[in-house]
Amino acid sequence: MRLASFLSVRHVGLPELARLSNVTLTDCLKFVRVLGEAGLLYVEPAPAKASRSGAAAPAMDAQANPNPTGGLVDRIRRSLGMTTVSR
């Protein structure tokens, strides 16, 4: 349940999930596999460059984000110096 509480629309890489949750990478991988098997995850390869707060968070042009509040959140993230952007 603790791992599940970190699920959101923002991309999270395994290392970041482990860091956020304080759960071992092995258990995180097990968790991801289970969700993946159940078709509950949107999964894609990690981008080459890692962001500050996520090793596997793909950058995305905030202008292309059709969600207005998503835009606000992205602006907050940028203002705080986070490069992680949701989709």
Partner 1 sequence: MKDHKIVFTGTPGAGKTTAIAALSDVPPVTTDVRNSDPGLAKEHTTVGLDFGQVDLGDGQMVRLFGTPGQMRFEFMWRILAKDALGLVVLIDNSRPDPLADLTTYLDAYKDVLPSMNAVIGVGRTLECPLPTLDDFTDLLNARNLVLPVLAVDVRQRDDVLMLVDVVLAQAETRTRACSHQMSTVLIWCEQALETNLASTIAQTSLATSSSWPTR
Site for partner 1 in 49-68 (CB under 8 A): 52-53, 56-58, 67
Q: What is the size of the binding site for partner 1 (CB under 8 A)?
A: 54
What does the alpha-carbon distance between residue 24 and residue 38 come to, in Å, rounded to a whole number?
21
Q: Is 48 in the site for partner 1 (CB under 8 A)?
A: no
Those residues whose C-beta lies under 8 Å from the C-beta of residue 47, and which sit 6 or more positions away, are 56, 57, 58, 59
CB 47 within 8 A of CB 55: no
- Tokens in use for 6? 């970190």
Distance in Å, CB of 64 to partner 1, minimum: 15
Site for partner 1 in 5-34 (CB under 8 A): 5-14, 17, 20-22, 31-34
Out of 24, 27, 37, 49, the residue judged to bind partner 1 by CB under 8 A: 37
DSSP labels, 50-82: --SS-TT-----GGG---HHHHHHHHHHHHTT-
- Name the site residues for partner 1 (rule: CB under 8 A): 1-2, 4-14, 17, 20-22, 31-47, 52-53, 56-58, 67, 69-70, 72-73, 75-77, 79-82, 84, 86-87
